[in-house]
Amino acid sequence: MRLMDELHMEDPRRGTRRISDEFLEKGVLIGREKGRRSMQAVRIKSVYCLPSTTVADATKYKFPYLLRDLKIVRRN
């Protein structure tokens, strides 16, 4: 747990795969699932940027919603 905390303090972007690879380099045989459980026990989460895919472009024209005030009473 101490080694895992040290690795996390060095680079908080490490996830379960990189943590298990670092453990193997240090000579500690630990699998990815064991590393994941240990990270959850110590409450360590990897920090990374999420993609912002739904941000609207301010320069593009935003089309109005034409059905807003229309009462729909039948199909087609």
Q: In the structure, what pLDDT confidence band is assigned to residue 73 with cuts at 50, 70 and 90?
A: very high
* pLDDT on residue 33: 92
* pLDDT on residue 56: 80
Distance in angstroms (rounded) separating the CA atoms of residues 16 and 21: 9
Closest CA to 46 of 3, 10, 70: 10
Closest CA to 8 of 38, 51, 49, 50: 38
* Global pTM value: 0.59
Sketch the domain layout of the chain as residue ranges.
2-42
Write out pLDDT tens, residues 6-65.
888 898 888 889 989 999 998 989 889 988 998 899 898 888 888 878 878 888 888 899
* pLDDT on residue 4: 85
